[in-house]
């Protein structure tokens, strides 16, 4: 037998629950059943509200754990890709010239070969499968992937083996292509004759078509630096090679190799 006091207590509960917050809903199955039975039998005018609460409770039960499970699987897929890419690390780099600049062609070969080791088609299919099975939006899913790629980015000392701590690491287009955002921020930048021109600010992309005779386009990663007067300057050359460099001793502990996402999202 249901007491009158119980009915008033349930009515009070229905009027105070925050229906937009699933955490405020009744979680115990027995209490939940009693609550709905009483609300619908004793208060017909609350039927629509009770049904809405059922929907909220159901959605709260569905959404949380699957999202974490999908995130963990994304992280595992990204970790596996990094393990494959880094199979040839560290690459031994030699230096040349004065000041000592690490050989740009060895830097490019090392980083590009690492990215080519990844089976991008297989990784893309795996991520697409996870996306289809998840309840997250495409934007949220991509954000999770981008975050994972940045989180697992490797430091330069993992990628390169350098004997001379005074050498300069060349800021090639390929190196900048794999550079995580803000990684080299405020690191001194030197030109090829050893003059400090400023401090590293960030990267940007330069895209150019192949002309009227070709529909091909190519994109180069470039960078900007802050000069000694506080002005922002772009790197002068499109093909950087070894035009600029940063001190290895300051760059070695920075994250420098981030797998790109452009092969995963078209």
- Residues 173-218: pLDDT tens digits? 999 999 999 999 999 999 999 999 999 999 999 887 665 555 567 7
Q: Is 97 helix (H, G, I), strand (E, B) or coil?
A: coil
CB-side neighbour CA atoms (13 Å) of 233: 16
Q: In 3D, which of 239, 233, 125, 114 has the Cα closest to residue 172?
A: 239
Pairing, β 95-96 against β 101-102:
antiparallel
Is 0.85 topped by the overall pTM? Answer: no
For residues 93-107, give the mean pLDDT: 96
Model pLDDT for residues 7-17, shown as the tens digit of each residue: 445 444 444 44
CA pair distance 113, 163, nearest whole angstrom: 22
Longest dimension (CA), the chain: 94
Local confidence band at 236 (pLDDT 50, 70, 90 cut-offs): confident
Q: What is the mean pLDDT of residues 143-172?
A: 97
The model's confidence at residue 84, banded by pLDDT at 50, 70 and 90, is very high
pLDDT at site 10: 46
List strands edge to edge, sheet with 188-191: 95-96, 101-102, 168-170, 244-247, 188-191, 196-209, 217-227, 232-234
What tokens appear for 47 in the block? Answer: 């039927």
How much is the pLDDT for 218?
76
Tokens coding 61:
């039960």
CB atoms within 10 A of CB 147: 14
Q: Give the residue from 153, 73, 165, 168 showing the smallest Cα distance to 114.
A: 153
Task: Summarize pLDDT for 133-149 with one digit per residue, the tens.
Answer: 887 888 999 999 999 99
- By mean pLDDT, which of 50-54, 108-112, 236-240, 245-249 is the weakest? 50-54
* pLDDT score recorded for residue 160: 98
Enumerate the domain spans of the chain: 4-62, 89-257
CB 67 within 8 A of CB 135: yes
Q: DSSP readout, 108-173?
A: HHHHHHHHHHS-HHHHHHHHHHHHHHS-S-HHHHHHHHHHHHHHTPEEHHHHEE-S-TTPEEE--H
Indicate the average pLDDT of the chain: 82
**Residue among 206, 227, 230 nearest 218 (CA):** 206
Q: How far is CA 134 from the centre of its chain?
A: 18
């Amino acid at each position: 037998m249901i007491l009158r006091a119980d009915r008033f207590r349930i009515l009070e509960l229905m009027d105070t629950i925050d229906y937009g917050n699933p955490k405020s809903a009744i979680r115990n199955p027995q209490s939940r059943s009693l609550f709905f039975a009483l609300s619908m039998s004793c208060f017909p005018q609350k039927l629509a509200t009770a049904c809405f609460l059922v929907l909220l409770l159901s959605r709260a039960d569905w959404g949380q754990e699957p999202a974490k499970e999908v995130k963990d699987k994304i992280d595992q897929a990204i970790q596996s890709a990094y393990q494959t890419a880094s199979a040839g690390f560290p690459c031994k780099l030699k230096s040349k010239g004065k000041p000592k600049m690490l050989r740009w062609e060895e830097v490019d070969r090392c980083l590009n070969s690492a990215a080519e080791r990844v089976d991008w088609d297989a990784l893309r299919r795996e991520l697409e499968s996870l996306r289809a099975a998840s309840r997250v939006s495409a934007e949220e899913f991509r954000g999770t992937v981008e975050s994972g790629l940045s989180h697992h980015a490797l430091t330069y000392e993992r990628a390169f083996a350098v004997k001379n701590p005074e050498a300069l690491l060349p800021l090639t287009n390929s190196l900048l292509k794999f550079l995580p955002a803000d990684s080299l921020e405020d690191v001194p930048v030197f030109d090829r004759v050893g003059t400090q021109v400023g401090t590293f600010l960030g990267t940007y992309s330069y895209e150019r078509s192949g002309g009227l005779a070709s529909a091909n386009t190519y994109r180069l990663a470039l960078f900007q630096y802050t000069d000694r007067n506080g002005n922002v300057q772009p790197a002068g050359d499109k093909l950087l090679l070894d035009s600029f460099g940063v001190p290895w001793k300051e760059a070695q502990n920075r994250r420098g190799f981030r797998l790109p996402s452009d092969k995963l999202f078209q």
